[in-house]
Structure 1
Amino acid sequence: MERTQPLCDLNTSSIENIYIFVADAVRYDFVPKRITDRGRLFKTAAAALCTPQSISSIVTGRHAPRHGVTWFNDSLNNSVTTLFDFDVTSGYNEVVWEGRAVRDILNGPDRIDLDTVGEPFIALEHDNGGHSPYVGFENQSTAEMFSQISDEEELRELYRETIRESTKRFEERLDILEARGLLDDTLVIYLADHGELLGEYGGFIGHGLPSTPEVAYVPTVFIHESLSDDTSDTFIHHTDIFPTVREIIGDTSLTADVDGETLLGRVDRDRPAYTQGIMRPQAKYRETIIDPNYDAPSVWTKNGGFVFNRTNKLALPLTATFDALFSGYTGSFNSSRSSITSLLNSFDHYLSSERAFGEPSISKENARKIVDRISNISVETESRSLNDETKKHLEQLGYR
């Protein structure tokens, strides 16, 4: 396999700071040109299909089974090294998430103020991105919003407009760095935690499930004055962010066991990527026969991948039926608004044991070996109860 050095021209000697902007639910084919014109775009494999799992992989450099987080009531094991453990000022800010939902997953890193923080620093900010409810529906739940959208074209335009608003917030953050004279000293990384379904496959909307390219492929843009504004032909992974930042910061005192590779070195141009596709039911159904209610890990290369549905055969019909008829979310949107159509589409997708998408550069047999090797790993996490404020906000966002 051909190897490449995707960030070989990055002038690391001039970088004092790292600013990471995570835009929620922005799929690769919807990344705004206003952002890609600023730096180097990489097609990226999301580590997972929902925020708790993917953002934990971004900050640890580990595949999702190796950090153990599956839902908002999990917290990373304190023994796992994160971006917030480097010997520089570091912090995390939330825009979309209320009630400390994601901050607590990451073990409560300090907040950071771009207006006042001193160098060197690592700042990670998590923005609404393209997450529902969309612009104009902020005071409604995701299910209420979807019930009022007339067709797929309207859905996509609302999604685009929501991403545009997020892009404005991103540009405002860069304006702060520039006004303080810090932009030239800062590597800016724009990326999404996962993508989004917008009516594909007969009416699926959202993320988390099912596993598809629209949710697995996300953008990453590296922005620095030493980098040209182009599109790299190297396929990268969420897990590459941590080792890349570690090499730039140069904190050799911090040891970390990671799965990704630094993009400053030589990497395979089209490395297969593991993406976790696991969803668990409400707390009262945990550790039952329907836990997990969806388990479909996948392996992706730049132009396609394989999904392996390992969900319990008794749980699958329940998941398909709930999603089609009662969720008001992922399986409920189709042009006819027919419950029967939704149910048929949902069963067709969920009951498939294997699916191939596009033209993967890996064989199905080798993809399965990757899934078998990684999916069976188990790591202990800290579990906690979600407060009422957090539960209410997650329900509004479409989580159930």
Structure 2
Amino acid sequence: MWTVFDAFPNTSFHRNRGSLENVLGITGSVEDADPTELEPPFVAIERDLVTHAPFGERPEDEDQRFDGNRAYFSERRSRSTIVSEYEHASERAVERLEQRMATLRERGLLDDTLVIFTADHGEILGEYGLMTHGSHVCPELVRVPTIFCTDEVTLDEQVISQADIVPTALSLAGRGGSTPVDISGLDLTENADRGRLMFAESRGIGYRHEWSAWDAEGGYIFTEDTVVDRLKWFYRQLGPSCSAPYSRHNLLEFLPVVFEGILEGHRRVGNPNFDKAQAESFCADVFAGEVNEQRREITDEGRERLERLGYLDEL
């Protein structure tokens, strides 16, 4: 029996569940199962890191391997070089998607498969004198392309929230109405609320806490950071951060963003079709419904992987 699990080298938790579970903090919660015995609908997740730094890395080429992101940004100081490598990596990601679609078609699985192509964040590529992600809230990080590949319905091009993915996927799988109550997203097959606002927040990484409201044209970003908070953030970006070598080399571009927004408590980006008061009210509603934070201890292996990916300080 042909399945999606033996079609691709990096599919789901079935092949590399140990390392992924350590990072995600869900060790032991996934039951072992023979994928050939799974009854549809089920979910298969492939994690493609080709667009993750180091962007120019080629595992098959000894000269194009880097010992983590810090080594990459120590060698790559030219923004044009990094952008070029990222663009090439993006092209490779699209090629891989097309290959996956072709394989599903050849195996007779495509008509019964919903393919979702997305990412968990955008990427800063030299803007603000910074690189990668996790530094602060900005358009380059909160705007992420998402594609639903299905012949069941046609979804118009629109601005969505990633919270919409689960209810939309459940609806397309014939499970509409079964969305968990703590997910606030919309079923895009039935709803197209083009006037609604989207929420994004960055906290706990490098002492810079920001939250924001967005529409298709722009948004408002809020903060209660102090000068001390930003000085700590400044130190992180030029010291422990994996992309610090790039920021130190581009200090004049980096300095203006260090204290932005702390005097006013907010900053406006683009030309949003709503005002600051509406943004404040929207964010307050989001926080009012916020669930309690849950924290887990991660293993040494999980911490090392997060550091190499740039999510934790590399000390």
Q: TM-score, normalised by structure 1?
A: 0.64
Structure 2, unmatched stretches of 5+, are 6-11, 58-63
**Map of 1:217 onto structure 2:** 143
1:273-352 paired onto structure 2 within 5 Å: 273-280=198-205, 293-329=207-243, 333=246, 337=249, 339=251, 341=252, 344-349=255-260, 351=262
| Cα gap change, 1:311 to 1:158, in 2 (>3 Å) | same
Inter-CA distance 225–245: structure 2 relative to 1 (3 Å threshold): closer
Give the match's secondary structure for 1:135. Answer: coil
> Partners of 1:173 and 1:279 in 2: how far apart?
36
Does residue 375 of the first structure (1) align with residue 287 of the second (2)?
yes
Q: 1:119 to 1:343 in 2, by over 3 A?
A: closer
Pairing partner for 1:121 from 27, 36, 42: 42
The CA distance in 1 between the partners of 2:130 and 2:32, in whole Å, is: 36
Offset of 1:279 from its aligned partner? Answer: 2.5
- RCO higher in 1 or 2 (8 Å CA, sep ≥ 6)? 1
1:242-291 deviations in Å (ceiling 9; x for gaps): 1112222333684621211110113222321011221346xxxxxxxxxx
Is 2:213–2:282's contact at 8 Å kept on the other side of the alignment? Answer: yes
Equivalent of 1:265, from 190, 199, 219? 190
* Alignment correspondent of 1:238: 162
More helix by share: 2
Quick check: which one's strand share is greater?
Answer: 1
**Which has the larger Rg?**
2
Aligned length: 296
CA contact (8 A) 2:202 2:210 kept: yes
Q: What are the ranges of 5 or more consecutive residues in structure 1 without an aligned counterpart?
A: 1-17, 20-90, 282-292
Identity value in percent: 26
- Of stretches 213-222 and 133-142 in structure 1, the one that deviates more from structure 2 is 133-142
Question: 1: CA distance between counterparts of 2:17 and 2:140?
Answer: 21
Distance 1:130 1:101, change over 3 A: farther
The AA in structure 2 aligned to 1:198 is L
Moved more, 268-277 or 188-197: 268-277
The alpha-carbon distance between structure 1 residues 296 and 314, as it changes in their structure 2 partners (threshold 3 A), is: same
Query: Residue 200 of structure 1: CA displacement?
Result: 0.7
Instruction: Indicate the SS of the match to 2:151.
Output: coil
The answer (yes or no) to whether the contact 1:147–1:328 under 8 Å persists in 2 is no
* Cα drift, residue 107 of structure 1: 7.7
Instruction: Indicate if the aligned counterparts of 2:124 and 2:141 stay in contact, CA closer than 8 A.
Output: yes
Name the counterpart of 1:135. 56
Distance 1:144 1:333, change over 3 A: same
Partner of 2:173: 249
Cα pair distance change 1:380/1:269, threshold 3 Å: closer
Indicate the larger mover: 245-254 or 181-190: 245-254
Q: Distance in 2 between matches of 1:117 and 1:135?
A: 37
**Which residue identity lines up with residue 149 of structure 1 in the other structure?**
R
Other structure's SS at 1:389 match: helix
The residue matched to 1:222 in structure 2 has which SS?
strand
The CA distance in 2 between the partners of 1:134 and 1:254, in whole Å, is 39
Q: Distance in 2 between matches of 1:376 and 1:145?
A: 41
> Cα–Cα, structure 1 residues 104 and 259, in superposed 2: closer, same or farther, change >3 Å?
same
**1:27-54 deviation digits (Å, cap 9, x = unpaired):** xxxxxxxxxxxxxxxxxxxxxxxxxxxx
Cα gap change, 1:107/1:364 in structure 2, threshold over 3 Å: closer, same or farther?
Answer: farther
What TM-score, normalized to structure 2? 0.80
Q: Which residue type is aligned with residue 297 of structure 1?
A: W
